[in-house]
Amino acid sequence: MTSVSAAYRLWSASYDRDPNPLLALEQRVLSDRLEVLPGERVIDLATGTGRWLLHVLGGGGNGFGVDNSPEMLAQAAKKRGIAGRLICADALELPFPDGFADLAICSFALGYISPLDAAIREMARVARRIVLSDLHPNAVRAGWVRSFRTGGQKYEISHFDYSKCYINACARNAGLAPLWSLEAKFGEPEREIFERAGKGQEFESTKQVPAIFVGAWERQ
């Protein structure tokens, strides 16, 4: 099992080159739900190579990307318009004043954060609304793993498995009220990614399992 910091150091150079069906599914179902107005301040936590940060900036938002992987941030910094908006920091200690942002996004990183309750309290401190997404617990129970391939080798990433009930409890204890939530399975738009990866035969069974969940909350 590879540590999170080592995993993203190894993965950073190929992260944007390797199509990821989970990220593609999230992009498809979440893009229209973020409700970022022009000029709103948005913090993209665990920004990685800046995927959601680019989306926010493209919609006129005033976005900032935070990640604790220097290697991933170095890849993000190569993208136009992102330089100067990236901060290397931990989700447990965000370098922003109280109420700094209108929205904080944390995409596919909850399973790499501990203690999660402290991280969600920190998100609630700096942002009025938060949006969280991650691998669906049903997918975990079905045997899906958090892994990647690079240099011809497969790496599984060390992680924590949090239930949706626990995530909701953390949000409630941080003074957040639920706005909406969604679950999503793979669909035809993701079939090509499976086929390109040589896993087309797995698509029909895989698409029966909820792949991701997304939730949004706001400060009470």
User: Domain of 107?
Assistant: 4-219
pLDDT tens track of the chain, all 220 residues? 999 999 999 999 999 998 999 999 999 999 989 889 999 999 999 999 999 999 999 999 999 999 999 999 999 999 999 989 999 999 999 999 999 999 999 999 999 999 999 999 999 999 999 999 999 999 999 999 999 998 889 999 999 999 999 999 999 999 999 999 999 999 999 999 999 989 999 999 999 999 999 999 999 8
Residues 94 and 86: their CA atoms lie apart, in Å, by 12
* Phi and psi angles of residue 54, each rounded to the nearest 5 degrees, phi first: -60, -40
* Residue 105's CATH number: 3.40.50.150
**Prediction pTM value:** 0.96
**Which of 105, 95, 84 lies closest to 41 in space, CA to CA?**
105
* Structural domains counted in the chain: 1
Q: State which H helix or E strand residue 26 sits in.
A: helix 21-30
**pLDDT tens track for 74-131:** 999 999 999 899 999 999 999 999 999 999 999 999 999 999 999 999 999 999 999 9
Residues 193 and 134: their CA atoms lie apart, in Å, by 19
